[in-house]
């Protein structure tokens, strides 16, 4: 091979690997990302169709937690709207009524959120990043002053 041909092949290989990566990334970013919505966006907006995977975040409504076997149901609220959630599995250590929580899953046809996963941080002052803005806007959570 001449030097020119070699360079041509080299650029071709590099280009195709990058092309492959771009293709994979664009497919993944289209199909595999998970949006975050607060209960108001879920209830009032027409953003989510049943079966579509997303994350919902808010505060666990006081007195709403029901446990039956490993099945748990509770209501997550942002002050103005609420969404009922069902979950089966082990809850994080900091899951508590009145605390912030993020659930990942999808709505069923009756508007109940079936969670695959419940996230709550291991720090009691912790408010999930996405949640902080939402709750601050609605004046439920004033922010934490640690100092």
Partner 1 sequence: MIAELGHYALVLALALTLVQSIVPFWGARTGDQVLMASGTSSSIAGFLALCISFAALTYSYVISDFSLANVWQNSHSDKPMLYKVTGVWGNHEGSMLLWVLILTLFSAMLAAFATNLPSRLKADVLAVQGWVTLAFLLFILFTSNPFERLPQIPAEGKDLNPILQDIGLAIHPPLLYVGYVGFSLTFSFAVAAMISGRIDGAWARYVRPWALVAWVFLTAGIAMGSYWAYYELGWGGWWFWDPVENASFMPWLMGTALIHSALVMEKRDALKIWTILLALLTFSLSLLGTFIVRSGVLTSVHSFASDPTRGIFILGILLIFIGGSLALFAMRANALQQGGLFQPISREGALVFNNLFLTVSCMTVILGTLYPLFLEAIDGSKISVGPPYFNLTFGPLMIPILLVMPLGPLMSWKRSDLLPVLQRLYFVAGASLFCIILALAFTHDGPVLASLAIGLGVWVMLGSVAELVQRSGFPKVNVQTAIARLKGLPRSTWGTAFAHFGVGLMVLGIVGATAFSDEKGISALKGDTIEIAGFTLTHAGSQREQGPNYVQDTLLVSVKRGGVEELKLTPAKRFYTGHGTATTEASIKTYWFSQLYVSVGDTDEEGRTVLRAWWKSQVLFVWLGPILMAFGGCLSLTDRRLRVGAPKTSKAKRALANA
Interface segment toward partner 1; rule CB under 8 A; list 64-72, 74-82, 107-115: 64-72
Rounded Cα distance, 49 and 58, in Å: 20
Task: Of 7, 122, 140, give the one whose Cα is nearest residue 82.
Answer: 140
Task: Of 42, 32, 33, 52, give the one whose Cα is nearest residue 134.
Answer: 42
Rounded Cα distance, 49 and 5, in Å: 53
**Among 4, 123, 142, 145, interactor with partner 1 by CB under 8 A:** 123
Distance of CA 117 to the CA centre of its chain: 9
Q: Does 137 bind partner 1 (CB under 8 A)?
A: no
Rounded Cα distance, 89 and 103, in Å: 12
CB of 123 to partner 1, least distance (A): 5
Give the β-pairing of 113-119 and 82-88.
parallel
Which C-beta is closer to partner 1: that of 6 or that of 136? 6
Q: Does 114 bind partner 1 (CB under 8 A)?
A: no
CB of 102 to partner 1, least distance (A): 8
**Among 18, 44, 62, 136, interactor with partner 1 by CB under 8 A:** 18
Interface segment toward partner 1; rule CB under 8 A; list 9-17, 73-81, 106-114: 9-17
**Is-contact 104 55, C-beta < 8 A?**
yes
* Residues forming the site for partner 1 (CB under 8 A): 3, 6, 9-10, 13-14, 17-18, 20-21, 24-25, 27-29, 31-37, 55, 67, 69-70, 89-91, 93-94, 119, 121-124, 126, 128-130, 146-147
């Amino acid at each position: 091979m001449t030097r020119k041909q070699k360079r041509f092949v080299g650029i071709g290989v590099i280009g195709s690997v990058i092309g492959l990566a771009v293709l994979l990334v664009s497919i993944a970013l289209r199909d595999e990302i998970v949006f975050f919505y607060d209960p108001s966006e879920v209830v009032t907006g027409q953003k989510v169709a049943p079966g579509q995977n997303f994350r919902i975040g808010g505060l666990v409504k006081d007195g709403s937690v029901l446990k039956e076997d490993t099945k748990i149901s509770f209501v997550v609220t942002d002050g103005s709207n609420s969404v009922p959630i069902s979950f089966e599995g082990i809850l994080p250590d900091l899951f508590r009524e009145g605390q912030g929580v993020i659930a990942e899953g999808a709505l069923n046809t009756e508007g109940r959120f079936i969670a695959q996963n419940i996230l709550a941080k291991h720090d009691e002052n912790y408010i999930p990043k996405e949640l902080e803005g939402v709750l601050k806007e609605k004046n439920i959570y004033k922010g934490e002053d640690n100092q």
